[in-house]
Amino acid sequence: MTWSWAVRDLMRHRARTLLSLLGVAIATALLFDMVLLSGGIERSFGELLISRGFQLRVSPKGTLPFDTDATMENAGALVRSFRAEPGIAQGGAVFGTSALARRGETLRSLVVYGVTPEAQGIYQLATGHDLAPDDTAGVLIGAPAAARLGASIGDTIRLVGRLDPRVAVAATERLVTIRGTVRFVYDAKDQPSVAVALPLAQRLGGSAGRDRVSLLMLRVADGVNADSITAHLRLTYPDVSVNSIADMVAQFRLRLSYFRQMSLILGSIALIVTVLLVGTLLAIGVNERIGEIAALRAIGIARVTIVTQVLVEGMLLTLVGGTLGVALGAATARWLDAILTSFPGLPAAISFFVADRGQLTTAAITLIATGLLAGVIPAWGAASTPIAAALRSDAP
């Protein structure tokens, strides 16, 4: 009966109740989005890093992978040394550089990744065939690069390396055949990238004789703790930076800490707005029904029943408004995510708004508690009203 009475009381002033529900829905949508944002990008980044199964990254000393143009020399020996470490199941090198692609009479700029195909973690094959370990005449192409060049599997393109400013000619040119199309896991949206065998990329980047690479990717053996092997490798190889996924996520969190701070502030504001909206509506309703409440008390209705009735009204407002707010928040999260992920330099696979069951459950419990809290003062006021005085003031 309590719930039916709550619905009846709220429907007495439909316009006022509707506006309150909309206010609660907007506040809930804001809270919902801030919960998704508070840790969503960190979870998304962590899932992206582990998506290819390589738990460790080795980069030049003091840097994160591809954070700068710094490289590591004598890469071949370094890779062999890491592969020989107990607990390391697989390791491969990546060298990043830029090049031009000549197709017909046009030149287009590309990002070129040199990889060891049997141990790479930067792309997923979509169609065609992967590179063979010794294939220096093949290339794998991403969708943006294929669209820019108007090329497909089986076509040939000429990769043009760095220009020598003294003679205004390319230091290296190589005619390559497209073996397959791939999705580059860490690329920004519309980034025109291709992958070639590591020796070819080093020649295109002018690093053939120095055996330089930008990054090593290591896969930890089954049953080996990634944190313990990371600590061991840092001691063994002090001239390079060894980072686990947890380390990189922590660095990423520091760089984007303002998102967490902003979500905390806006989420708190959403809860405060919910308390004020629900509390104000209930207080107005109680004042309008003070004579009715006094009559109920006069015929023997207990105070706890009156308090419960007002609290149920507050919870009902919060539940209905919150349900509408979740739907609104999901829609705005998709819209905001599309805007934020369009920022230059961010991997296309990153998402700022990622759901976490534990956090959403905590937010839902907090919202319900907020609705109950908003009704405490009006409910106590209704139950504490002197019966005789209320009846006299309500009499015509």
Three-class DSSP labels, 50-64: HCCCCCEEEEECCCC
Query: Is the model's pTM score more than 0.75?
Result: no
Name 310's Cβ contacts closer than 8 Å, sequence gap at least 6: 282, 286, 375, 378, 379, 382
Residue 131 near residue 197, CB atoms below 8 Å: yes
Strands in the chain per DSSP E: 56-60, 88-103, 106-115, 123-128, 138-142, 156-160, 163-164, 169-170, 173-184, 193-197, 215-220, 240-244
Q: Domain limits of the chain?
A: 2-48+255-394, 62-238
How many beta carbons lie within 10 A of that of residue 233, not counting itself?
21
Report the SS3 class of residue 44.
helix
Amino acid in position 190:
D
Give the separation between CA 160 and CA 101, rounded to whole angstroms. Answer: 6
Instruction: Specify the residue for token string 């313990």.
Output: 228
Q: Are 324 and 30 in contact (CB under 8 A)?
A: no
How far is the CA of 12 from the CAs of 16, 56, 115, 243, in angstroms? 9, 63, 70, 62
Q: What is the pLDDT along the chain (396 residues), one digit of tens a residue?
A: 466 666 666 677 777 778 878 888 888 888 888 887 776 777 777 777 776 778 888 888 887 777 777 888 888 888 889 998 888 888 888 998 888 887 767 778 899 998 988 888 888 889 999 998 888 889 999 999 998 888 889 898 888 886 554 444 446 788 899 999 999 888 888 889 999 998 888 888 876 667 888 889 898 888 888 888 988 999 999 988 888 888 877 777 776 677 777 777 888 888 888 788 777 777 777 676 666 666 666 666 666 777 777 777 777 888 888 888 888 888 888 888 887 777 766 676 677 777 777 777 877 888 778 777 777 777 666 666 655 554 555 444
* Backbone region of residue 54 per phi and psi (left: phi > 0; alpha: psi in -120 to 50; beta: other values): beta
- Give the C-alpha separation, 64 to 386, whole Å: 70
Q: Are 319 and 21 in contact (CB under 8 A)?
A: no
Query: 60, 53, 102: which is closest to 78 by C-alpha?
Result: 60
